[in-house]
Structure 1
Amino acid sequence: MATPASQTATRVASGQCRFGRPEKTAKCGSLNLRSCDNGGSGRNGRSVTVEAVNGAVHVNGAAAVRVGHVPVPPPSSVADGDAFLLGKFVERRLVYRQQFVIRSYEIGPDRTATMETLMNLLQETALNHVMCSGLAGDGFGATRQMSLRKLIWVVTRINIQVDKYSRWGDVVEIDTWVGSSGKNGMRRDWTIRDHNTKNMIARATSNWVMMNRETRRLSKMPDEVRQEVLPFYLERSIITADANKSSKIEKLTDATAEHIRSGLAPRWSDMDVNQHVNNVKYIGWILESVPLDVLEDYHLTSITLDYRRECRQSQLLESLTSMASSVAADLALSASNLCSTDLQSTHLIRQENDKAEIVRARAEWRCKEKNRRQSDI
């Protein structure tokens, strides 16, 4: 049954359809209205009266259409807005789980998800975790007490390890949870599983501290904030602290870097709501100074990023890369022999004008299987 142009349905649920102020309604299952008017006037100033008894319908006294059975919609288990997040809590609400489909614009030349895609999915799951937990204030992942004190979260280190990259159309299942990290920090961990096989294909851990969004200085964690997040702490580490902090990342210089790419300019679209460059964007800048043969023949299987200062849009950047000494000789080999060993690399993102460090990184690379088989021939 079409609704009058000046009146929309106020509710359709459990077999009942109401417009305006229903005077009488009957049981579920079919549209069984005795009479209903739209309250006297609408946008066109006309009063519309509908009368129906299990079939024959009259609008303002004129026969219109025959109304059949109106199916009862299934009950919704979540609020309409939350349904689109597609996440849920598991393990006594300590772990938040969300599923994603790998889209065509999230894959690279080899048709698999990129490291940037995985990092973006981790960030999205973390933010939805805060939102669905009821902790969110008006900031980007900030709690209510953080918002009152003008505090934001900033990441200091993240380590992601990938066993297998998903392909276009694959569905991945991401779990995330939080725990303590020292006196004033928080740790967030993730696991990524293939939805069909349930095999773990990636894992990640990160450390976060608080910054005042106006002064841009780091802050201690207020007791009020600690009380907010404490009930959600799960002291479980997917990557051990020793492995995550196993060694200090070497600082590259003009003398030690083998490849330098200058003139990298953050764009407006690279900024997040906290008015600095989104932490995922640094992955792309790091790869700008990696040799093309490595990008073509290797998978980036692990990367650790140490964030040393925030970056604004007005700053020009440089990307420095150095492959491990044991790999340097391999890079001089022909492409057919390039995959005889796995690689390691060290990276630095710095400001171009004053050479101030922004991000240090360390990465590991594994030869793509097709190239490994060729090198064994």
Structure 2
Amino acid sequence: MHSKHDWITTPVTADLLRGAIEVERTEHGVLPHRLPAWARAQYSDGQLAMAESQPSGVRLVFRTRATAVELDARPTKRAYVGVPPLPDGLYDLLVDGRLVGQGSVPGGNTLTIDMATGTAEHQPGTAGTLRFTGLPEGVKDLEIWLPHNETTELLALRTDSPVEPAPDRGRRVWLHHGSSISHGSNAASPTTIWPALAASLGGVELVNLGMGGSALLDPFTARTMRDTPADLISVKIGINLVNADLMRLRAFIPAVHGFLDTIREGHPSTPLLVVSPILCPIHEDTPGPSAPDFSTGQLRFRATGDPADRASGKLTLGVIRDELARIVAQRAAQDPNLHYLDGRALYGESDSTELPLPDDLHPDAATHRRIGERFAKLAFTANGAFVGLGA
């Protein structure tokens, strides 16, 4: 093991981070965010604050000869009342694009959430250290993908050889927005959430604005996307609007148009793919809201709405798919770079039979892989929306 005087400490700065929208300076380090401060100020919602500060798709990227790396971090770990303890968030280490190690940071703050009451309690904790040793000799590009499901304050980066920002590989930037499924819920690790898998297969750089419970057509999210440089853009819309029972059809249709209008203000001709929800049997024809269900001794979700309420404009996944297809077809007459993908092409009836959603709402690790591979095939190859733009 190296003695302390062998280590070189490099400040964690924005030029070493990819996939973050903004980097907040804290008392002891930096905190990556996936929404800018002005957007966060417009709605102080606990779920949104938690989701946008969890660094899904965010990675430290640098070039070095180092064979040993340490990262000090203070995670914020989630706990849910009535649910078994969650495993610690995983960090994935890639060397020249290949996964060579995984680890977690012990300790940290704890956010205890009571889904029955909608309350949360924050307990401060200590920082910890992630360590990777025995890395290959020679110059290499290292990527440390931060846990997709654990807010992560980065305090110090130490290596046994100097660090410099990795050169731009000239890859196109893919900006994606979606719900907890895009955020990576129930995936095995940060590089195996479906957008990360799809980005790797497509040969693009991911900026992931998938945010658990928060794909709600918020105007500040559209403005953030408008202002974020991107070569390819996708928005996956639907499940959160249903399970939050957020709006009726009368509000939904103009809100979709407004969201797309805003993105187009900053990206008038960028390939833009609208993706409807994957199959979710509980909400295909039954409106929300969703409610947690512990009756089986484990967390599942159920739909509490009445299918008859579709007549008065309540949203279901079936209604949303029909409307998104219609809206995209209508707009595409003047916007040839706008495309539609039915989410059931990523996960549909036969997939649901083979790989059912374990909690009736979120895919598991194997399903993330399937969705990522399907998306890459449908978007980055043949006649896909992002045709010819992959590796």
TM-score of the superposed pair, with normalisation by structure 2: 0.24
Larger fraction in strand: 1
* More contact order relative to length (CA 8 Å, sep ≥ 6): 2
Larger radius of gyration: 1
Larger fraction in helix: 2
